[in-house]
Chain A
Amino acid sequence: MAGLTRTAGAFAVTPHKISVCILLQLYAPSAQMSLPFPFSSISQHNRLGLYLLSLTKSCDDIFEPKLEDLINQLREVGEDMDAWLTDHLTNRFSSLTSPDDLLNFFNDMRGILGSLDSGAAQDDQIILDPNSNLGMFVRRCILAFNLLSFEGVCHLFTSIEVYCREAHSSSAQYDESNDNLESLIQHDQMDMEKYIMDKATEEIELQKNASGRVPFHLHTPEALFKVTEGLLVTRKEKSRTNTKKAEATQLACASSSTVDDTLVDESLFLRTNYQIQGFLMEQADAIETHGSSLSSSSIESFLQKLQNLAPELHRVHFLRYLNKLHSDDYFAALENLLRYFDYSAGTEGFDLVLPSTGCSMYGRYEIALLCLGMMHFRFGHPNLALEVLTEAVRVSQQHSNDTCLAYTLAAMSNLLSEMGIASTTSVLGSSYSPVTSTASLLSVQQRVYILLKESLRRADTLKLRRLVASNHLAMAKFELMHVQRPLLSFGPKASVRHKTCPVSVCKEIRLGAHLLSDFSAESSTMTIDGSLSSVWLKDLQKPWGQPVFSQESGSRKSSTFFQFCDHLVSIPGSVSQIIGASYLLRATSWELYGSAPMARMNTLVYAALFGDSSSSSDAELAYLKLIQHLALYKGYKDAFAALKIAEEKFLTVSKSKILLLKLQLLHEHALHRGNLKLAQRMCNELGGLASTTMGVDMELKVEASLREARTLLAAKQYSQAANVAHSLFCTCHKFNLQIEKASVLLLLAEIHKKSGNAVLGLPYALASISFCQSFNLDLLKASATLTLAELWLGLGSNHAKRALDLLHGAFPMILGHGGLELRARAYIFEANCYLSDPSFSVSTDSDTVLDSLRQASEELQALEYHELAAEAFYLMAMVYDKVGQLEEREEAATLFKMHITALENPQDEEPNMA
């Protein structure tokens, strides 16, 4: 409760600060001291000064370096005089034998400060301006020491003993540890690529942003800056350190991880509240960034220690909640979330950011509800989540917390659009929500739309930029998937365009991405020299340890400069995340609209620019898309190779989609090679991944039964396949999955075509085409047109002309954007059409047919699609036979035979991935 008061002792004297003071004494020896001036050149002296400057800047950081670390750094800064520096340091420490020595030491410290008025100092003496950075530091140290009670001095004394003892014990292992440091840093760099965030970050971010104007993610709220100049470093920098720690934890054995060690060592001098809060924010970020690749138990033990140190620091509970959320521990997550809000009434950590607005005496329990709702959502309890969010809407209205309301509405619309909810009446039923109450008769879609609009409006007025942006993206998603319909379409006058509107999708996506320009205007306030100085410190630790400021290393300098720039223009993580998401959405929409190159390009942009900084699940999605693209356009070999790489990256992420992709690919592959048993097994495994709860994991469920129907179709069990497809269509209809409906209809048409019932297939194909038209699914439409043409041809050879016309209409789309299979099918079908056309003579025009067949066979061989390949070679052989080219005929025939035998004996050797 009293955790937020800032006490006078915020700046505590610590052994590390005493080290810095000792070095300062060297840098600016007072007149009385009889120390020799050890510096051989001015530049050396300046180097020490710069080093001290960065030390003083960074000494508000939560982790203070140990004496050993300090000595290591000195070695790099001091060049030839490092031995002298460290000797002096350790000697000075060992001369502190009683509390009285400490007292004297600080008295001496006064001597190095110049007095404000005296200009009459000796010429050769270096005087610290009391108002300079270094001077301020010394003054703060002296003041803090003078404020200490005798007990405090005793404690300081014991902690100095510990500080020195540690250095002694570890100095023997110096060389070894240096090696470790290098490897650590290398690890760190390799790991940079792994920076991934979980899907839930969006949610978590929402939760955090719920606090109000100052976003959480940019964890450099101005208020914090003023207090702790050097503490906060830009995001990237932070995550660097974090990984380093994380890596270290993983390297070291679990129980005695480095983080813990450091923290325990620090236990003697607790940091200030602001430092800890800032530190915890970083940790929260780290948990998000690494997803579950960070071992949850190590975080847990570290949090436990922190809690022991500061029982009144409630934010620990929130961190624990985040940690548990990422390791999918429902009960612990729930327990900790509730505990956090019970203790702090949702104000700690939030009002740090918003000190002025203050909170009502009722606390901010609406945020608790919001978080709880999101948690239920993540764990797949849509109904509970909806109830909780409804309550959140009510409570935030009651407490007129508009910000929270805007976020809650956004969360709600997200929930409604993601979860398959057949009708809201059963869920929202009795519990009312002012937003939904008027619309109790509306469909889920309309409700989502209204919620989004409401949220957008509020976010706009409250200037919540991130929320606005993500709402725009959500809106784009909505527009992409839904035919726009007036909310109240009464009477004949209501103009109804039954089509989605790609223009508005594009508009929304662009509006969403506008965030960047907004932020670049703001970001100037975000650079602080604190971050610069710690970059500098980091550079010191680089393994090669070249003198950074020496003149001769021009190349090095430029790279440092580049790094500086990099940090200077850093964009807050949440912003880049949203912008990244917009690229992904772009890719998805192009995928749906049927432009493979555009989809691929956008995904690549995402993977290249945002892969590092974004959430793990988004990055995973990008990889997923790229691999799928490979499978479709380059064949399985490449796809599996790529999958292997992706697997290493993402398998640790909770709720990984990589497994799903692998099953999909294996299924597809097995289907093509005619290994139906394997296909069936993969299909079943796919279905097993889905949650059994109604309405959860709808996408996965649809996918699984679609694949089941296709497997049955390949096994020539037409009626069963048709049954599965029919029930799937019903599900899609129930849950309003329009786009899926189009593909199910197409599948039904295929089934009827294969079963030789072309007449029955026609209406399905036509229906699919009309669906595709209204949702602008061009590629799917082309493939439906192909099926339609095939159906026509199936009705008899007198329809060949019509079929050919249809095919030629769809050809540009198919050849431009279609995958290998689709293209091959089209080519074979074209040949088929020609061959069955009575007016077409093979002998005169054989090249037309042979060309397309050759194309088809090449593509099919890449795909290992034996059935179609056999067909192509068969046709080829026939044509060659007609033309009388016997040699080629034989060749085609052997290839035909090869494919047929391959099809009939699907080797059970599974692809190496399985």
Chain B
Amino acid sequence: MVSKESCRNEIRAAIRQLSDRCLYSAAKWAGEQLVGIEQDPSNFTPSNTRFQRGSSSIRRRFSTISTPQPSAGFSQPPATPLPQEEDEVIDGDLYLLAKSYFDCREYRRASHVLRDQMSNKSLFLRCYALYLAGEKRKEEEMIELEGPLGKSDAINRELVSLERELSALKRTGAIDSFGLYLYGVVLKEKGNESLARASLVESVNSYPWNWSAWSELQSLCTSIEILNSLNLNSHWMKEFFLGSAYQELRMHGESLAKYEYLQGIFSFSNYIQAQTAKAQYSLREFDQVEIMFEDLLRNDPYRVEDMDLYSNVLYAKEACAALSFLAHKVFLTDKYRPESCCIVGNYYSLKGQHEKAVMYFRRALKLNKKYLSAWTLMGHEYVEMKNTSAAVDAYRRAVDVNPCDYRAWYGLGQAYEMMGMPFYALHYFRKSIFFLPNDSRLWIAMAKCYQSEQLHMLEEAIKCYKRAVNCGDTEGIALNQLAKLHQKLGRNEEAAFYFEKDLERMDAEGLEGPNMFEALVFLATHLKTNKKFDEAEVYCTRLLDYSGPEKEKAKSLLRGIRMAQTDFPSMDMEHFPL
């Protein structure tokens, strides 16, 4: 098994190596995991536990699920040895200068300083600096060359030379795992995905602690087949990778299991908590997610990452005050993050100020053009503003960013339905259902489309509602509609069956309302005509509990039943005139 101590040692060394190579975000990630490891009570110092205070609250609350022992899974790999840093006394000085240039974001200068250095570390830093310089120039060019028809495809001009150099190094074998990572990134940028994957796999197999490499690899795993085909050494970092990859592939159960397992070691990791919350959010467990995020914010009050998700939860729960508090806090932390803009947009949307919401979503999109949820949310706002063509445009962009986004497909369908094009909308609903086949809301939307006045394809609507029922219709629309449709088509038996089921559901949830009256009235009448007077009477008496016209109806029905019951013989007698 992997002991917490060995994990800790590995990470400590890794953070140093990563920051030596200026891979800051990977170092940051590793640092988060480092303090996420549960401390041994033996070397307990107050400073060590500072980060962990309060973290256990969530665990206390949700400790029903038995945590698997961390010993269970990690079949100890032939432990990847931590690479020893080569002693770089000779080029050490230049390296130090270059690193400080790099830290001041003077990338070209940094790479120039290292131009003749041959050690692996210097080599990597030089290439990496060059790459970043190219990226920076690319961003600038994109703005400079922006034409009337959108951005020109400015490219990172360093890619070609970098690829040439790195591939030569790779051929001679003089490349370390960081170089492989950079090579993978370059290849990915050039569109050579399979080679990029191979290079990244090689990189993470030889140096698993570089989270940036894992996340690049994850973005290249667009299907489960690709994911399964990767030949990865087992290491605890792989579990992190799999967790996030599963999540991206909408396999939330598997992903949750991975995180559950990792929590055995990294019990206080904010990252794991946020990822778990994300998965739970996709499973629509809003209450749980809210608690998790509250907890997260308590430990890490200046966190912006993933907070847009939290705002979505608050939006869904219509918690205005909490949302405004969150927005304020995040805005004070960093207002030029797409997440912050998105949160503010959500806030305005909840307040019904859709123009302002759109403005903030736009800002979020300006900061990150591929920010999926902002496109979708903006589409929702446009729908609210009845600007359907703008909504359609926004949704379509979301779909083109990520074709698996069922919300955007659904939004497209909705928009077209609003425009009175139900048949056209059906295609989009079908798409959205394809990506999320067991969501009753989508089925109901599609059924409504079929049911619409223009199409009037009731049989298809019935099929959809049936699927909705099978998916566990939470809003209880499907059963009622099924019953009504069958009633309309004159299939009283089926109608009665679904009314009864609906009634059961309402009883179980303790609901009342017009649907209930309707069901009761229909059942009573139906049973009466079928001469099941006893059962009919039960329903009638239930109706009597309520006031209004239904009561009168029940009374008359009851009278009819009594008459029928008592007059039955007399009616027979009519045939025998006295």
User: Provided the pairs A395-B419, A431-B454 are in contact, do residues A345 and B144 lie with their beta carbons within 8 angstroms?
Assistant: no
Q: Inside 8 A of B387's CB, which chain A residues have their CB?
A: 361
Asked whether B226 is an interface residue with its Cβ less than 8 Å from the other chain, the reply is no
State the CA gap A312–B144 with chains docked (Å).
Answer: 16
B393 pairs with A394, CB closer than 8 A: no
Asked whether A363 is an interface residue with its Cβ less than 8 Å from the other chain, the reply is yes
What is the total number of residues of chain A having a CB less than 8 Å from a CB of chain B? 45
B424 pairs with A342, CB closer than 8 A: no
A908 to chain B, nearest CB (A): 50
Asked whether B257 is an interface residue with its Cβ less than 8 Å from the other chain, the reply is no
Asked whether A545 is an interface residue with its Cβ less than 8 Å from the other chain, the reply is no
Q: Inside 8 A of B397's CB, which chain A residues have their CB?
A: 343
Q: Which of A387-431 contact B (CB under 8 A)?
A: 387-388, 390-391, 394-395, 398, 430-431
A313 pairs with B150, CB closer than 8 A: yes
Majority secondary structure of chain A interface residues (helix, strand, loop or mixed): helix
A250 to chain B, nearest CB (A): 24
B422 pairs with A391, CB closer than 8 A: yes
Asked whether A303 is an interface residue with its Cβ less than 8 Å from the other chain, the reply is no
Stretch at the interface among A270-278, A718-726, A837-845: A270-278
The residue from A3, A9, A365 contacting B421, defined by CB atoms under 8 A apart: A365
Asked whether A656 is an interface residue with its Cβ less than 8 Å from the other chain, the reply is no
User: Provided the pairs A311-B151, A339-B400 are in contact, do residues A391 and B454 lie with their beta carbons within 8 angstroms?
Assistant: yes
State the CA gap A7–B153 with chains docked (Å).
Answer: 19
Q: Inside 8 A of A430's CB, which chain B residues have their CB?
A: 455-457
Query: Binary interface profile of A, 308-345, with partner B (CB < 8 Å = 1, else 0)?
Result: 11111100000000000000000000100011001101
Query: Binary interface profile of B, 8-40, with partner A (CB < 8 Å = 1, else 0)?
Result: 000000000000000000000000000000000
Q: Inside 8 A of B390's CB, which chain A residues have their CB?
A: 1
Query: Binary interface profile of B, 446-463, with partner A (CB < 8 Å = 1, else 0)?
Result: 000000001111000000
A343 pairs with B393, CB closer than 8 A: yes
Asked whether A240 is an interface residue with its Cβ less than 8 Å from the other chain, the reply is no
The residue from B147, B424, B427 contacting A310, defined by CB atoms under 8 A apart: B147
Asked whether B83 is an interface residue with its Cβ less than 8 Å from the other chain, the reply is no
B447 to chain A, nearest CB (A): 16
A362 pairs with B388, CB closer than 8 A: yes
User: Provided the pairs A365-B421, A369-B421 are in contact, do residues A273 and B389 lie with their beta carbons within 8 angstroms?
Assistant: no
Q: Inside 8 A of B389's CB, which chain A residues have their CB?
A: 345, 361-363
A342 pairs with B149, CB closer than 8 A: no
Asked whether B322 is an interface residue with its Cβ less than 8 Å from the other chain, the reply is no
B149 pairs with A270, CB closer than 8 A: yes
State the CA gap A338–B399 with chains docked (Å).
Answer: 12
Q: Which of B325-351 contact A (CB under 8 A)?
A: none
State the CA gap A818–B256 with chains docked (Å).
Answer: 81
Q: Which of B301-342 contact A (CB under 8 A)?
A: none
State the CA gap A2–B423 with chains docked (Å).
Answer: 29
B145 pairs with A155, CB closer than 8 A: yes
The residue from A1, A345, A365, A394 contacting B454, defined by CB atoms under 8 A apart: A394
Q: Inside 8 A of A363's CB, which chain B residues have their CB?
A: 388-389, 392
Asked whether B152 is an interface residue with its Cβ less than 8 Å from the other chain, the reply is yes
B392 pairs with A276, CB closer than 8 A: no
A365 pairs with B424, CB closer than 8 A: yes
A365 pairs with B419, CB closer than 8 A: yes
Asked whether B396 is an interface residue with its Cβ less than 8 Å from the other chain, the reply is yes
Asked whether A893 is an interface residue with its Cβ less than 8 Å from the other chain, the reply is no
The residue from A3, A149, A313, A395 contacting B420, defined by CB atoms under 8 A apart: A395
Q: Inside 8 A of B416's CB, which chain A residues have their CB?
A: 365
User: Provided the pairs A345-B389, A431-B456 are in contact, do residues A309 and B152 lie with their beta carbons within 8 angstroms?
Assistant: yes
Q: Which of B145-181 contact A (CB under 8 A)?
A: 145, 147-153
Q: Inside 8 A of B427's CB, which chain A residues have their CB?
A: 334, 338
State the CA gap A343–B427 with chains docked (Å).
Answer: 16
Q: Inside 8 A of A338's CB, which chain B residues have their CB?
A: 427
Which residue of A is nearest B140, CB measured? Answer: A151
B145 pairs with A3, CB closer than 8 A: no
Asked whether B207 is an interface residue with its Cβ less than 8 Å from the other chain, the reply is no
Q: Inside 8 A of B395's CB, which chain A residues have their CB?
A: 342
Query: Binary interface profile of B, 377-403, with partner A (CB < 8 Å = 1, else 0)?
Result: 000000000011110110111001000
A3 pairs with B149, CB closer than 8 A: yes
B150 pairs with A312, CB closer than 8 A: yes
B150 pairs with A310, CB closer than 8 A: yes
Asked whether B412 is an interface residue with its Cβ less than 8 Å from the other chain, the reply is yes
User: Provided the pairs A342-B412, A361-B389 are in contact, do residues A388 and B149 lie with their beta carbons within 8 angstroms?
Assistant: no
Q: Inside 8 A of B424's CB, which chain A residues have their CB?
A: 365, 368-369, 372, 388, 391
The residue from B153, B420, B423 contacting A398, defined by CB atoms under 8 A apart: B420
State the CA gap A377–B446 with chains docked (Å).
Answer: 24
Q: Inside 8 A of B393's CB, which chain A residues have their CB?
A: 1, 342-343, 345
State the CA gap A362–B391 with chains docked (Å).
Answer: 11
A155 pairs with B150, CB closer than 8 A: no
B421 pairs with A391, CB closer than 8 A: yes
B463 to chain A, nearest CB (A): 16
Q: Inside 8 A of B457's CB, which chain A residues have their CB?
A: 430
The residue from A343, A362, A372 contacting B419, defined by CB atoms under 8 A apart: A362
Q: Inside 8 A of A770's CB, which chain B residues have their CB?
A: none
Q: Which of B85-107 contact A (CB under 8 A)?
A: none
Q: Inside 8 A of A6's CB, which chain B residues have their CB?
A: 148
State the CA gap A276–B412 with chains docked (Å).
Answer: 28
A152 pairs with B147, CB closer than 8 A: no
User: Provided the pairs A342-B392, A395-B421 are in contact, do residues A270 and B144 lie with their beta carbons within 8 angstroms?
Assistant: no
Which residue of B is nearest A273, CB measured? Answer: B148
Asked whether A5 is an interface residue with its Cβ less than 8 Å from the other chain, the reply is yes
State the CA gap A713–B152 with chains docked (Å).
Answer: 69
Which residue of A is nearest B395, CB measured? Answer: A342
Asked whether A73 is an interface residue with its Cβ less than 8 Å from the other chain, the reply is no
B149 pairs with A151, CB closer than 8 A: no
State the CA gap A273–B150 with chains docked (Å).
Answer: 11
Q: Inside 8 A of B456's CB, which chain A residues have their CB?
A: 430-431
Asked whether A267 is an interface residue with its Cβ less than 8 Å from the other chain, the reply is yes
State the CA gap A886–B388 with chains docked (Å).
Answer: 94
Q: Which of B392, B395, B455, B456 has the most CB of A within 10 A?
A: B392
Q: Inside 8 A of A310's CB, which chain B residues have their CB?
A: 147, 149-150, 152
A394 pairs with B144, CB closer than 8 A: no
Q: Inside 8 A of B144's CB, which chain A residues have their CB?
A: 149, 151-152, 155
Query: Binary interface profile of A, 425-460, with partner B (CB < 8 Å = 1, else 0)?
Result: 000001100000000000000000000000000000
A892 to chain B, nearest CB (A): 71
Q: Inside 8 A of A10's CB, which chain B residues have their CB?
A: 148
Which residue of B is nearest A272, CB measured? Answer: B148
Which residue of A is nearest B392, CB measured? Answer: A342
State the CA gap A824–B420 with chains docked (Å).
Answer: 64
State the CA gap A430–B423 with chains docked (Å).
Answer: 13
A309 pairs with B148, CB closer than 8 A: no
A267 to chain B, nearest CB (A): 7
B150 pairs with A311, CB closer than 8 A: yes
Query: Binary interface profile of A, 119-135, with partner B (CB < 8 Å = 1, else 0)?
Result: 00000000000000000
Which residue of A is nearest B418, CB measured? Answer: A362
A199 to chain B, nearest CB (A): 25
Q: Which of B417-470 contact A (CB under 8 A)?
A: 419-424, 427, 454-457
A835 to chain B, nearest CB (A): 68
Name A's B-contacting residues (CB within 8 A).
Answer: 1-3, 5-7, 9-10, 149, 151-152, 155, 267, 270, 272-273, 276, 308-313, 334, 338-339, 342-343, 345, 361-363, 365, 368-369, 372, 387-388, 390-391, 394-395, 398, 430-431
Beyond A273-B148, A310-B152, list 14 extra A-B contacts (CB 8 Å).
A276-B149, A309-B149, A312-B148, A312-B150, A342-B392, A342-B393, A342-B395, A342-B396, A363-B389, A368-B424, A372-B424, A390-B423, A391-B423, A391-B424
A-B pairs, top 4 by smallest CB distance, nearest first, are A312-B150, A310-B149, A342-B396, A311-B150
Q: List 13 A-B contacts (CB under 8 A).
A: A3-B148, A7-B148, A155-B144, A308-B153, A309-B153, A310-B149, A311-B149, A342-B396, A343-B393, A363-B388, A363-B389, A368-B424, A395-B419
Name B's A-contacting residues (CB within 8 A).
Answer: 144-145, 147-153, 387-390, 392-393, 395-397, 400, 412, 416, 419-424, 427, 454-457
